[in-house]
Amino acid sequence: MPKSLHEQLNPPDPMRVIGLISGTSCDGVDAALCEIGGEGQGHVQIKLLDFVTEPYSKKIQQDVLKVSRGESRTEEVCRLNFRLGATFARAAMSVLMKAGLKPSDIHAVGSHGQTVAHLPPRFDSGIMATGISERIGSTLQLGEAAMIAEQLEVPVVSNFRTRDMAAGGQGAPLIPYIDYLLLTHPEHARLAVNIGGITNFTYLPAGAQEEEVLAFDTGPGNMLIDAMIQLMTLGKQGYDKDGELAAQGEVDGYILSELLKHEFLKRKPPKSTGREEFGLAYAKQLYEWGIKRAVKPKDTLRTVTDFTAIALSEAYKNWIEPKGRIGEIIVSGGGALNATLMARVKKEFGKVEFHLSDDFGLPVKAKEAIGFAVLARETLRGRPGNLRSATGAFGPRILGQITPA
């Protein structure tokens, strides 16, 4: 007999939740099966039971990128939404099978979906702030939650970003709430850095209260590097494994100086960005610019890689360092595995102690998926999941939309 709606919306503690996300790399769905218990900073406990990545087919990846570029008809977007929902459902089933569990063994799914457009509100310098649509901002994630709920027969929490945006926020980043819960140290400040498609960080003062946390996107991450690799290899290679190709190049000082003039880097937080500013179109401009200047593609790639690291360090120097020194940096995201990128990041920060998020029970590749499992649980328990100091929203909000089993 199916659970009543009351039972679905009043889950036990601890509860088992699957977190799902496909990032800006658009290569597949990360699925983290978690057992989560406790409440509040320093008391939430997470056990990662299993993790998988369900790869996208080449067709789905191409269709996602086509929608992101604004090249799809409404009918194509509509169909893709449901196809992605089915793919997300498969990822959830895959992680259950790997763990030897059944859908009836879990209580909920938290699905971030696939972002195809993210247009945060803009108020700085009057840029894009002349119309009400720009001032409100908007975001769109595909991956129909009803498909997941239908397949797994558990409630699904989705569309996490939209409520924060409706409340005047950027809708991102949202993972800082998890950083606040799990990574705050009572005696020294930390910086939690995530290098995904876009790079962002969370500044956690010693014993941080919610309003003291500062988090925002710092600029490009793997997205720009991956796009450069795809252009260099005519699509045969999707990313720079271990940063090996970038390591063979040299930084072009002129291009780097021009990249560092990018308007986003000067923008005051809270701020977020995405493919619209640092996606394939931007990469093509840089690639062609390098060719016109007789710069070797590997040198352009190395320059872009260093740009990613320097944008991160400049954001820290401009907005965090004046608040006081940090004791350590905790890194997650696929960029943490790019040795060339991380070497430049460490050079920028000097003697600061670095850790991978794995050291804190949050595997580098799984952290974001774990985060949306936690956010789904917060929603089902009636608790806000955003940080006003990170997104700029009017206040704390319970995030997401619930699709019952």
Residues whose CB is less than 8 angstroms from the CB of residue 337 and which lie 6 or more positions away in sequence, other chains included = 242, 364
Q: Note whether residue 266 is domain-resident.
A: yes
Residues 161 and 221 in one domain: no
Q: Given this model, what pLDDT does residue 206 score?
A: 96
Residues 183 and 309 in one domain: yes
Q: Please state the domain count of the chain.
A: 2
Residue 132's CATH number: 3.30.420.40
**Rounded-to-10 torsion of CA 283, 286, 289, 295:** -110
Q: Note whether residue 357 is domain-resident.
A: no
- In the chain, the amino acid numbered 4 is S
Q: How far apart are CA 250 and CA 17, in angstroms?
A: 45
- In the chain, the amino acid numbered 330 is I
By percentage, how much of the chain surpasses pLDDT 70? 96
Residues 182 and 324 in one domain: yes
- Stated as kind and residue range, the H or E segment containing 85 is helix 74-99
Cβ atoms of residues 153 and 2 within 8 Å: yes
Range of the domain at 138: 5-171+366-403
Terminal CA-to-CA distance of the chain, rounded, Å? 12
Helices of type H across 221-323: 222-232, 244-247, 253-259, 263-266, 275-278, 280-292, 297-315
Q: Given this model, what pLDDT does residue 1 score?
A: 55
Q: Extract the residue ranges of the chain whose pLDDT is less than 50.
A: 125-133
Give the closest residue to 31 by CA, choosing from 117, 142, 148: 148
The angle subtended at Cα 63 by Cα 22 and Cα 175, nearest 5°, is 20
Q: Note whether residue 370 is domain-resident.
A: yes
Q: Given this model, what pLDDT does residue 5 score?
A: 76
Q: Given this model, what pLDDT does residue 118 score?
A: 93
Give the closest residue to 326 by CA, choosing from 169, 204, 166: 204
Give the closest residue to 114 by CA, choosing from 83, 153, 90, 76: 83
- In the chain, the amino acid numbered 232 is M
Q: How far apart are CA 299 and CA 304, in angstroms?
A: 9
